[in-house]
């Protein structure tokens, strides 16, 4: 999830995970982009607050073994911060892609990725590159051996690094 250009990156990343990384596989990842459903965004913004547009959606979908990825260049977008805090409260893994000094998001995420550049467009460019690299790595990894075997062979620290694999529900 993200706002503006970061929202576009989040949408692109979700597409790459759903289609690109899983193409031709019988078992697929379940990736959604919270900023893609315009009517839901508008309803949440109108009925509660724009600050809650992502956390309200997470309340419908989030399980403790899910991964939540927030993207925002400054790291200080209230609606993304609230969603990451909610994910952390439920025990989900939170990953953020930020720029500049990382902002609040870098301080609260389980896995912060801070691009220490003070130029929004360059930070956004790096975020897109990282999304494409992650998709390509997962594409290759998912074809090496069955996903079920991969999940059982990695330890908890590695599980958090392979962020887009569907993990078992054991909460």
Evaluate whether residue 45 is within a structural domain. Answer: yes
Joined tokens for residue 134: 């992650």
Q: How many domains does the chain contain in total?
A: 1
23: helix, strand or coil: coil
Evaluate whether residue 98 is within a structural domain. Answer: yes
Q: Shortest CA distance to 5 belongs to which of 88, 94, 119, 85? A: 119
Q: What is the pLDDT of residues 68-86, one digit of tens each?
A: 999 999 999 999 999 999 9
Q: Shortest CA distance to 35 belongs to which of 64, 60, 55, 21? A: 55
pLDDT value, residue 143: 85
Evaluate whether residue 33 is within a structural domain. Answer: yes
Evaluate whether residue 126 is within a structural domain. Answer: yes
Q: What is the pLDDT of residues 115-159, one digit of tens each?
A: 999 999 999 999 999 999 999 988 888 888 554 444 444 444 444
CB contact set of 125 (below 8 Å; sequence gap of 6+): none
Q: Average pLDDT for residues 20-40, to the nearest whole number?
A: 91
Q: Look up the CATH number of the domain holding residue 103.
A: 3.40.50.10490
pLDDT value, residue 28: 82
Evaluate whether residue 147 is within a structural domain. Answer: yes
Residue ranges making up the domain that contains 118: 4-161
Beta-strand pair 67-71/111-115: unpaired
Q: What percent of the chain has pLDDT over 70?
A: 84
Evaluate whether residue 166 is within a structural domain. Answer: no
Q: How confident is residue 163, by pLDDT bands cut at 50, 70 and 90?
A: very low
Integer-rounded Cα Rg, in Å, for the chain is 16
Mean pLDDT of the chain: 86
Q: What percent of the chain has pLDDT over 90?
A: 71
Evaluate whether residue 169 is within a structural domain. Answer: no
Evaluate whether residue 101 is within a structural domain. Answer: yes
């Amino acid at each position: 999830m993200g706002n503006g250009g970061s929202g576009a990156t989040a949408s692109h990343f979700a597409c790459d995970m759903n289609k690109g990384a899983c193409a031709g596989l019988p078992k697929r990842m379940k990736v959604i982009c919270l900023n893609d459903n315009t009517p839901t965004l508008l309803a949440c913004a109108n009925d509660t607050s724009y600050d809650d547009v992502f956390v309200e959606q997470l309340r419908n979908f989030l399980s403790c073994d899910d991964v939540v990825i927030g993207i925002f260049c400054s790291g200080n977008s209230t609606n993304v911060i609230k969603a990451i805090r909610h994910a952390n409260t439920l025990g989900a893994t939170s990953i953020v892609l930020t720029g500049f000094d990382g902002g609040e998001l870098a301080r609260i995420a389980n896995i912060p990725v801070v691009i220490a550049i003070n130029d929004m467009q360059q930070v956004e460019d790096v975020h897109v590159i990282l999304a494409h690299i992650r998709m390509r790595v997962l594409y290759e990894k998912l074809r090496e051996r069955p996903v079920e075997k991969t999940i059982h062979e990695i330890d908890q620290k590695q599980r958090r690094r392979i962020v887009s694999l569907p993990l078992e529900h054991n909460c």
